[in-house]
Amino acid sequence: MLAKKTSKNQLTLPKEIVKEFPDTDYFDVTVKERKIILMPVKITRADMTLEGVREKLKKLGVTESDVDEAVKWARRKKR
């Protein structure tokens, strides 16, 4: 599929591609080995409160001990 760059440096994604990402409005754009890579990005509300985060963790079943273990894992010495 082809996408043409406009005079304002914009690209329009083909419908077939956009259909694969129905709930995505933003993409992270990088270049690797002369290729443009688009990664879908989910934007989180800026007004999400600490209480909202705690509620979400509770719904997901994440406990304090899960967080403690994750921190220990992340801080472990790499070999």
Pick the residue with more confidence: 78 or 19? 19
pLDDT of residue 47: 65
pLDDT of residue 74: 94
Rg (CA), the chain: 20
Residue 33 in 3-state DSSP? Answer: coil
In tens, the pLDDT along 20-73 reads 999 899 999 999 999 999 999 988 776 678 888 888 899 999 999 999 999 999
pLDDT of residue 66: 94
What pTM did the predictor assign? Answer: 0.51
pLDDT of residue 42: 82
H helix runs in 2-63, sequence order = 15-18, 50-60
